[in-house]
Structure 1
């Protein structure tokens, strides 16, 4: 039982005010959640009071979707990837909580904690825990019985009867696998539905349609060689990564042909520019100069080091055409100075810009909770290896199954092969097999 309830009981607070004050101190005050949601409908008054007291926005779940108006199940202003704290009055089996959580998760919201006034101790807590959340109760039925017994409000016989009933009458076990599905267990099609950035949605749908999660790193210095390579392997990739400033014979016609191949084979173009300056400079680098990256690259890579200002330098569309950003959260080279704290801060930064950010360049996606964000992992070869410059390579199995990659970047493993097309097919099939295995939970 939480705290010193006697002080509250003795106060002049109304019942709802007293309970909301207790629950605020108990679990809401120190919560870092983005939203509150009361389980309909008896918990709504308490959730409303908690929302006002904490200044945390409240979401409302409708049990029945109306046939008019917004027709939404979840009412409120929210973004996929934001967190929501569930408020309930009494939990028996936990089924009402799980129904609410299911609708919230379908909108891409993250649910970790449920707070409840009374846990009847009949299986609800276990059901909530087994579905990936933690239940915190202000009171349990055992504690309530002890209080009433101590105050003389019930007899010992009645207390024993209730305890016996609670121990022998348990709610059925509820295990809903859809509630514990995280990013790496969700299909590309389902995640596309949650994406707020049109480029993210397009990329996920391309991957699902073409059955490929292979990104080719076209690190060649000749326009002719790049275009020839893409003519051979374009049908096997979902994305092509370029370094436009290493091309020795760059010309505008190359960009026309590059875009033609992207349309022909249905892949997107990522310019690996790794923008890292102040916002104004980055805006000029993106829009101006001889390369005019914004006009042809569907996505670019960006360092988070300068802070949010660098994201403000980009816009989600250029001349009405959608664009995306991959934030650099980790690197694959040995001895790089990116820390775990930096990685997490980079991922946290993206939540405010989910209409712009497509995902993250990283080696391990454990901090990526929003299923609309894509993990792009470079440094992939069929065998574990390391080059003379400290570049570490991992296998498809390692990056997809162990480290959570959604898209794997392969460069020299294809580019330097005697037959790039056949090698691209080998990588495509190996990576796709790992993805299917991952979402199948086998």
Structure 2
């Protein structure tokens, strides 16, 4: 079969498996496009993957002295795997994020400095993903001057890469793809004209290409992360943690005002935050607030009301400012759910600092991965208001200005009778990414709360020091 016939057959294959769709689609940046390419589905069609491999192999063999292949994560990883199996060339794998455990390697596989690595990608629009992959490979001493590509969207990415010394060898361009589909009767000339107009009006400029910085907040000391914080209370908290050498938050889940005040006075020197549930106090009176604020000022810790606001913006605003508790008059920080969208944050704009809840420590939680991802996106849309995120995993490694608050910390226990799940102080800091760890019953139920607070403070701080020194 001739090369042209192979390409035409491959184009039709893509169309038949819905890897290429025509209509009206919104892109990630909000622009409407008449064509949508979802090449991830190829992995479910071995025959199509085989066709693609057969088209890429000659291009790969035409390159000289290739030592390894690396697929851009994650769609191109199976393509690189197929090429590796077909040609016998070793394959490397680039992680999208730095591991926070083990060797913390970004590039997996066997290689040596000076090896020539060919990058494999499914499609190119701006070329930013290829540039990020090239950057990370070159940081390890690998040479990356060539890219094997399935589809060039013809929006300027190839030229942008060329200016940076990277040559792209593509199987198809978007124009070729649609011409083959017109010839095969899959689409009509009208769609071909719409695509031509779209490409003419939607070219990527060089200055539009944004490369995600390679940052891992887990390795950055608090005194440096303070420079990245946009929220003033996050700035204050970073400074408190660095100067007091503590990342311990006490969950003062007691129902008696006097007991909370006494406990705060006793353990104040060892904590950076005292977390309350003000509505569980059985003897609450407004006279309780002033001495609590004075203790916090004297021992240099912040007050976090764990209200978990989760209503429409107007109601959240009233709950924050009004009522018997008047949370806005004393709490430095509050927690909120993202369930109601940005309205809850609009209602809390007068707040000094918000922790958005992305994950919880309760067994059987209905929080999904999509909900967690949406919560992080919402947090990044309000950087001046958001002090950090409540979560159980290291979710935002590239946002050093946010603080990870992790509840459910206790020595020697894994769960309670009501579904609370616990992790050890060392585990939540080193493995789960906690910047501030929340300890409640491990301190308030201890025979000696002061000694318990010292123990937790020391374990948490030592784990943080080990983490940043890895």
Deviation at 1:385, TM superposition (A): 1.4
Q: Distance in 2 between matches of 1:124 and 1:351?
A: 25
1:127 aligns with 2:138: yes
How far 1:367 sits from its partner (Å)? 3.9
TM-superposition CA deviations, 1:155-192 (whole Å, max 9, x none): xxxxxxxxxxxxxxxxxxxxxxxx74411111111111
Structure 2 match to 1:219: 253
Match of 1:395 among 400, 407, 424: 424
Secondary structure of the residue that 1:386 maps to in structure 2? Answer: coil
Question: Secondary structure of the residue that 2:226 maps to in structure 1?
Answer: helix
- Once residues 128 and 430 of structure 1 are traced to their aligned partners in structure 2, the CA distance between those partners, rounded to angstroms, is 34
Q: TM-score, normalised by structure 2?
A: 0.58
8 Å CA contact 1:216–1:240 kept in 2: the answer is yes
CA distance in 2, matches of 1:114, 1:346: 27
Deviation at 1:398, TM superposition (A): 1.3
Return the offset for 1:383: 2.1
Verify: 1:412 aligned to 2:441, yes or no.
yes
> How many Å apart are 1:128 and its aligned residue?
4.6
Over 3 Å counting, the alpha-carbon distance change for 1:422 and 1:130 in structure 2 is farther
Q: Structure 2: where are the runs of 5+ without partners?
A: 1-25, 31-113, 115-126, 148-157, 170-212
Distance 1:112 1:291 in 2: 50
Q: Aligned runs of 1:22-41 on 2, under 5 Å? A: none
SS in 1 for 2:227: helix
Which digits, 9 at most, give the CA deviation of each residue in 1:231-288, with x for residues without a partner?
1100000000000000011111110000000100000000000111100111000000
- Corresponding residue of 1:373: 402
Cα 1:368/1:338, change in 2 over 3 Å? farther
CA contact (8 A) 1:375 1:406 kept: yes
How many Å separate the matches in 2 of 1:206 and 1:141? Answer: 46
Change (3 A) 1:410 1:130: farther
Q: 1:311 aligns with which of 345, 365, 380?
A: 345
Q: Give distance in 2, aligned partners of 1:195 and 1:305.
A: 24
For the residue of structure 1 that corresponds to 2:304, the secondary structure is strand
Name the SS for the 1:305 alignment partner: coil
- Aligned with 1:393: secondary structure? coil
> Is 1:290 aligned to 2:301, yes or no?
no
Name the residue aligned to 2:459.
Answer: 430
- Count of paired positions: 293
Instruction: Please state how far the C-alpha of 1:396 moved relative to its aligned partner.
Output: 1.1
The alignment's TM-score, normalised by the length of structure 1, stands at 0.61
